[in-house]
Amino acid sequence: MLIKFTKHALERMRLRNISKEEIINAIENPDQILNKIQKPKKMLEMPQDSNPITNKILNVLSDKWQNFQRFANRLNLSDKTDVKYLQLKLKELERKRIIKMDVFDNVKHWKIS
C-alpha cells in the first residue's frame, strides 16, 4: 500500500511524535488504534463542605455580628479582587443559609446561623 503524506501531515505527525509506520498500521488495523485512544480523565469533585475558602471564612466568622471591614482584616485581605471575591462568597453563603446578614446603622454585619 502506497501512502503519500503532505508536508502539513508530516509536520503534524512530528509534533505529535507519530511515525509513518504507526499511521500505516492504524489504517490497516483500525482496532489497534481504538485500544490506544485514551478516555478523558474525570474531574475531581469536591463536596460543598470541603471547599477550603468557605472553611476559612466560616472559621473566621463567629456567633457575634461582624462588619465587613473587621472581617476582611481578620482574613488579611489587601487586594481589591480578594475583597470582591469575599463579598461574592458571603452572598453565596447567605443564599445557602449558612450565614446570616443584617444591617445595623447602614452597615452590613454577618454571623454564622
- DSSP assignment, residue 58? H
Classify each residue of 79-113 as buried b or exposed e, where b means 16 or more C-beta atoms within 10 Å of its C-beta.
eeeeeeebeebbeebeeeebbeeeeeeeebbbeee
Residue 58 pLDDT grade (very low, low, confident, very high; cuts 50, 70, 90)? confident
Domains in the chain: boundaries: 7-36, 48-112
Topology annotation, domain 48-112: Arc Repressor Mutant, subunit A (1.10.10)
Predicted confidence at residue 91, as pLDDT, reads: 92
Angle CA 72–75–77, to nearest 5: 60
Predicted confidence at residue 104, as pLDDT, reads: 92
Q: Which of 40-44, 50-54, 63-67 has the highest mean pLDDT?
A: 63-67
Q: Is it the case that residue 100 has pLDDT exceeding 90?
A: yes
What is the rounded distance in angstroms from the CA atom of residue 69 to the CA atom of residue 109? Answer: 10
Q: Is it the case that residue 45 has pLDDT exceeding 70?
A: no
Q: What Å distances lie between residue 7 and 20, 77, 105, CA to CA?
A: 13, 54, 73
Q: Average pLDDT, whole number, for the chain?
A: 78
